[in-house]
């Protein structure tokens, strides 16, 4: 089989992206329980400072999944990884990771955080029972962006879970948490 220059470059870029993602995910996953607890508290402060709706919704949530630092990278094939906590009020009750994979027209790397506010006991129970919750399967998760936030208030909440993405850094063509798998980890 004869490889042309374009194929070799594509393979080289894909290998570099995969190696970068591996290095970044190792760094994102190296946190201790105390580090994750501290990062989650700081992430919530950052989110609440920039988004009063998130602060308002938190008062009605049964629990919150807080992922303070997700690393996403890709070049045709991509993925993301980060670790976070499940909080009941201000108390950390468990630890989780967030993993996704993708392929298609994509290039770049970025980091971001996200919080999923679990609004019903049923949503919290689903997370507790499942061996891994894939966002988009199970309880309905509404990703709150600026447009939706204008029409949403704590009195109009009807869905099982609301997700807020914040603190985006880097360059990546798109950002989605759909298809992300959230699984319990030991810390």
Mean pLDDT of 12-28: 48
Q: Which of 156, 50, 176 is nearest to 106 (CA)?
A: 176
The number of domains in the chain is 1
Question: Is the pLDDT score of 14 beyond 70?
Answer: no
Q: Which of 97, 45, 107, 94 is nearest to 69 (CA)?
A: 97
* Confidence at 35, pLDDT banded by 50, 70, 90: very high
pLDDT at 174: 56
pLDDT at 172: 66
pLDDT at 171: 75
Q: Which two tokens stand for residue 94?
A: 């468990």
78 vs 65: which has the higher pLDDT: 65
pLDDT, tens digit, for every residue of 111-125?
999 999 999 999 999
pLDDT, tens digit, for every residue of 148-174?
444 444 555 668 888 898 888 887 655
The percentage of the chain sitting over the pLDDT mark of 70, rounded to a whole number, equals: 70
Neighbouring CB atoms inside 10 A of 183's CB total 13
Lowest mean per-residue pLDDT among 9-18, 48-57, 177-186: 9-18
Lowest mean per-residue pLDDT among 22-31, 33-42, 114-123, 139-148: 22-31
* Residue 95 domain boundaries: 5-185
Question: Which residues, 6+ apart, have CB-to-CB distance to 124 below 8 Å?
Answer: 62, 63, 118
CB 171 within 8 A of CB 108: yes
Q: DSSP per residue over 50-70, as a string?
A: H-HHHHHHHTT-SEEEEEEEE
CA–CA dist 161, 69 (Å, integer): 20
């Amino acid at each position: 089989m004869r490889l042309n220059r374009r194929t070799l470059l594509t393979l080289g870029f894909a290998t570099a992206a995969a190696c970068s993602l591996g290095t970044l995910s190792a760094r994102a996953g190296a946190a201790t329980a105390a580090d994750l607890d501290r990062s989650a508290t700081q992430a919530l402060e950052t989110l609440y400072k920039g988004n009063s709706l998130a602060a308002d919704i938190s008062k009605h949530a049964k629990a919150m999944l807080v992922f303070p630092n997700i690393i996403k990278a890709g070049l045709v094939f991509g993925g993301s990884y980060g670790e976070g906590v499940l909080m009941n009020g201000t108390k950390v009750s468990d630890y989780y990771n967030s993993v996704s994979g993708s392929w298609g027209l994509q290039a770049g790397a970025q980091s971001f955080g996200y919080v999923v506010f679990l609004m019903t006991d049923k949503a919290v129970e689903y997370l507790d029972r499942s061996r891994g919750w894939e966002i988009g399967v199970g309880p309905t998760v509404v990703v709150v962006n600026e447009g939706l936030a204008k029409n949403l208030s704590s009195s109009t909440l009807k869905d099982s879970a609301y997700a807020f993405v914040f603190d985006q850094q880097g360059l990546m063509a798109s950002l989605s948490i759909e298809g992300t798998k959230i699984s319990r980890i030991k810390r």
